[in-house]
Amino acid sequence: MIATIKYNSKNLKINLSNPLDISIALTGNKENVNAWYVGPPKISPHVEEGFIGSVKDGAVINFNDIYFNPHSHVTHTECVGHITEEVHSVNENLKQYFFLAELVSVAPEKKDDDFVISARQLKYVLGNKKREAIVIRTLPNTNSKTARQYSHSNPPYLLEEAIVYLRDKGIKHLLVDLPSVDREKDEGKLLGHNAWWNTNGELRMDATITEFVYVANSIDDGTYFLNLQVAPFENDASPSRPVLYKIMS
């Protein structure tokens, strides 16, 4: 199905029949992607007063309880409430769900004991392009990212200068295939998060960070129409399902 959408005064032809899902599903087992020193998520039948919510165990329905942390276990989108004392909900602050996005692939550079993404690298891949969202795929890129155990592994992250560059370029939505835009152990500085939401100035309430995406190698770098689907949780972060659509020339 091809749809013509008027977006920012331009007519875009979108191939709606070929959605490119870049989320990681929650599986509820120890192979689930994980970070931040918590155990695996759990999906299990609800048990109460002799009732077991499983058809296999005699119930007429499957009735599961789910335990997880969005920051640790699944593709999630977060708002400024992730780092502020005042409670802010991503469900209240994300009010638009479609964006023009640029997908870029970047190989993090070695810096001391870390691997980082610099402003110079992002300037090279973005050039003069004006986008509302950016999806960063780190290289090398393997499907092991969908089950990786990140705790105590010092994953790659974005330098503060890289975040500032993206913010000053007017990008509102940052999507990465990492557990965080910041260094795993940074003494609580959260330089990237603070720069992104501009905590030293006027807060960017409508800006988001989405972590734990996975972009298959079959998806080419380039410009896409992004549908950022977020579960309606009143929380600083919520499980999300970002979907890319090709723009036809």
Q: Which domains does the chain have, with CATH numbers?
A: 2-25+74-248 (3.50.30.50), 26-69 (no CATH)
- The number of residues in the chain equals 249
The answer to whether the CB of 157 falls within 8 A of the CB of 211 is no
In contact, 135 and 104? CB cutoff 8 Å: yes
How far is Cα 247 from Cα 100, in angstroms, rounded to an integer? 10
Q: Find the angle CA(18)-CA(23)-CA(28) to the nearest 5 degrees.
A: 130
Residue 249 has pLDDT above 90, yes or no: no
Reported as a pLDDT band with limits 50, 70 and 90, residue 8 is: confident
Its pTM stands at 0.96
Q: What are the tokens at 51?
A: 């009732």
Which residue in 191, 221, 219 sits closest to 23, CA to CA? 219
* Residue found under tokens 């959260």: 190
Q: In this predicted model, what pLDDT tens digit does every residue of 35-58 receive, in sequence order?
A: 999 999 999 999 999 899 999 999
- Both structure tokens of 92: 């209240």
Instruction: Tell which residue, 197, 186, 120, has the closest CA to residue 155.
Output: 186
* Residue 194, number of CB atoms within 10 A of its CB: 16
CA–chain centroid gap for 39, Å, is 20
- Residue 214, pLDDT > 90, answer yes
What does the pLDDT look like over 56-107, one tens digit per residue? Answer: 999 999 999 999 999 999 999 999 999 999 999 999 999 999 999 999 999 9
The percentage of residues in the chain with a pLDDT greater than 70, rounded to a whole number, is 100
